[in-house]
Chain A
Amino acid sequence: MAQTTLQSPPEAGSARALPTRAGRPRRRRTLFAYWLIAPAVAFMVLVHLVPTAGGVLLSFKRLNTFTFARLFDAPWAGLENYRSILFDTANPLRDGFFGAVQNTAVYTFWTVSGTLAGGLAIALLLNRQMRGIRLIRTLMLTPWIVPSFVVAVLWQFMWQSDVGIVNKVLVDYTHLLSERPIWLLGENSMWAIIIPSVWRGLPFAMIFFLAGLQAMPPELHEAAAIDGAGPFRRFRYITLPLLRPLIAVQLLFGVIYAAYQFAIPYIMLGSNPGPDADLMMTLIYRQSFSNNLFGFGAAASVLLMAAMCVWVAIWYRAFKRDLEVT
Chain B
Amino acid sequence: MSARWVNRGLDALTWLVLLAMLAPILWLIASSLQTDGQLSRGTYNLLEPTFTAFSRMWQTVDFERYLLNSLIICTIAALCATAFASTAGYALARFHFRGAKPLSLAVVGTQLIPGSLFLLPLFMGFIWLKQNTPVALFDTHLGMILVYTAFFTPVAIYFMRYFFAAIPRDLEEAAMVDGCTRFGAFVRIVLPAAAPGLLATFVYAFLFAWDELLFVAALTQENAETIPIGIRNFIGNYQERTAQLMAAGVVSTLPVLIAFFATQRWLVKGLTAGAVKG
Contacts and interface: CB of A to CB of B under 8 A. Distances in A.
B96 A143 contact: no
13 contacts: A4-B274, A36-B91, A37-B103, A40-B157, A44-B153, A130-B10, A143-B24, A147-B211, A168-B42, A207-B268, A281-B114, A285-B214, A289-B217
A246 B271 CA distance: 12
B41 interface: yes
A122 B157 CA distance: 29
Contacts of A157: 31, 39, 242, 245-246
A13 B90 CA distance: 14
A17 B271 contact: no
Contacts of A305: 112-114, 117
Given A8-B92, A17-B96, A207-B268, A297 B275 contact: no
B22 A142 contact: yes
B272 A12 contact: no
B95 A146 contact: no
Could you tell me the dominant secondary structure of chain A's interface residues?
Answer: helix
Nearest to B18: A136
A71 B153 contact: no
Nearest to B122: A51
A36 B92 CA distance: 9
Interface of A: 1-2, 4-9, 11-12, 16-18, 20-21, 29-30, 32-37, 39-41, 43-44, 46-48, 50-52, 54-58, 71-72, 122, 125-126, 128, 130-131, 133, 136, 138-143, 145-150, 153-158, 162-163, 165, 168, 196, 199, 202-204, 207-212, 214-215, 246, 249, 253, 256, 259-260, 262-263, 266-267, 280-281, 284-285, 288-289, 294, 297-298, 300-302, 304-305, 308-309, 312, 325-326
Contact of A58 (B120, B153, B211): B120
Nearest 10 CB-CB pairings of A with B: A54-B121, A47-B150, A163-B42, A9-B165, A211-B272, A51-B118, A301-B117, A36-B91, A40-B88, A33-B95
A213 B87 CA distance: 32
Contacts of B31: 157
B199 interface: no
B60 interface: no
A260 to B, nearest CB: 5
B37 to A, nearest CB: 11
